[in-house]
Amino acid sequence: DPKRALSKKRRPGKAPVVISRRHLAAAGCAILILAGVVAGLWLLGRWNTREASDITAAPVSLPDKYADRFLELNAMLTAVRERLSNLNEPTRPQREQMETAAARLREAEEKRNAGDITAVALAEEALEYYLAALIAPASMTFVPSGQVTVDGVAQRAPAFYIDKTEVTLREFAQFCAQVEDGWPLPDELTGAGDMYGEHPVHYVTWFDAQAYAVWKKKALPTRAQWARAAYGNPQASDIYPWGGEWQTDAANVQTNNGTQPVRSFKSDATWSGCFDMAGNVMEWTRTAATNNGKNAFPDFGDSMFVCGGSFLTAQPLRGAALRPVETRSPDLGFRCVIEIATTAESVALLLDRAK
């Protein structure tokens, strides 16, 4: 019906929405622009935040030579700490040394990040303590690096281990019997081992002492090392281990009774844990009276410093005497050290020693 059809066309209704490609393109552009603005603002905020973080956190560079040394120390520290990680049951001293080392290392890293050159010295101390924990030799005591005054001159002694007691007759006799091609026991000590095995060995020349030290992969102490172990602590007396006043029977000094077993006098114990440095026997060092431009190893007729008192001679800890290297005396013996240097060569040797 034409009328009905016409009436349908005239009914009111929603006009169709015509969306052209042009409209779609415009809308898309608007969306992209808006998204770009939002993304740009977000990235700008992230960049500003990161930039602010970098400004506050970025480490200040050390001068080149200190930076290079710090990197070298870090490599050695990594090697030593890796070896220490294999320890199953560290002793109490080892745990304490590792804790001290870790604290020094944290402080070193903080100083490094602040551009403070003292970071290097702290890293060296950390390495010394880690090495001390790694080798942990029996019957020796660890002496950290530090200042000591010798003949009125202050000097720094690097870290080392030192024998707690003087080398005993029993220990020296073992060396004489076991070293390749043998080594002669002093005639005066022949047959004395059974009764006097725990007494300090004596009647030994400097060369006897040096040979024993090499056999044990140790060294004779320098005079500075001996002094550092004896009195190189601000609270320690440089007269006697127990203080500045003489005490009767505190040490085997001027008794004329001969040597006594090591550790017999508990008062004769230094701050570092060494016994009999004031008495029993005097002790060889590897410090010469004068080097005269020669190597450290002396010739016959050269004199070396001896330290400590003996059952024949009273001498303050800070004192020393000179003896020709071929001297053999009833009151002259020795003890040994293991040096803990922070050079690459020394660290390699200590790592090998700890295998």
- Does some domain include residue 12? no
Residues of the chain where predicted confidence (pLDDT) is lower than 70:
1-59, 291-296
* Cα–chain center distance at 293: 30
Instruction: Say whether 143 sits in a helix, a strand or coil.
Output: strand
Question: Are residues 194 and 107 both part of a single domain?
Answer: no
- Does some domain include residue 16? no
What integer pLDDT is reported at residue 292 of this predicted model? 55
Name the residue among 266, 263, 250, 274 with its Cα closest to residue 200. 263
**How many domains in the chain?**
2
Cβ–Cβ under 8 Å, residues 262 and 283: no
- Does some domain include residue 211? yes
156: its two tokens: 């720094």
Q: Which domain holds residue 83?
A: 64-136
What integer pLDDT is reported at residue 78 of this predicted model? 98
Question: Are residues 270 and 123 both part of a single domain?
Answer: no
What integer pLDDT is reported at residue 256 of this predicted model? 79
Question: Are residues 122 and 207 both part of a single domain?
Answer: no
- Does some domain include residue 53? no
Residues written for the chain: 355
Question: Are residues 171 and 289 both part of a single domain?
Answer: yes
Extended strands (E) in 127-251: 140-143, 146-150, 153-157, 160-163
Angle (CA) 216-221-227 rounded to 5° is 145
What integer pLDDT is reported at residue 274 of this predicted model? 99
Cβ–Cβ under 8 Å, residues 225 and 323: no
Question: Are residues 176 and 123 both part of a single domain?
Answer: no
What integer pLDDT is reported at residue 279 of this predicted model? 98
pLDDT digits (tens, 9 = 90+) for 115-157: 999 999 999 999 999 999 999 999 999 999 999 999 999 999 9
- Does some domain include residue 56? no
What integer pLDDT is reported at residue 110 of this predicted model? 97
- Does some domain include residue 239? yes
Question: Are residues 105 and 247 both part of a single domain?
Answer: no
pLDDT digits (tens, 9 = 90+) for 37-61: 434 433 334 434 433 333 234 467 8
344: its two tokens: 């690459």
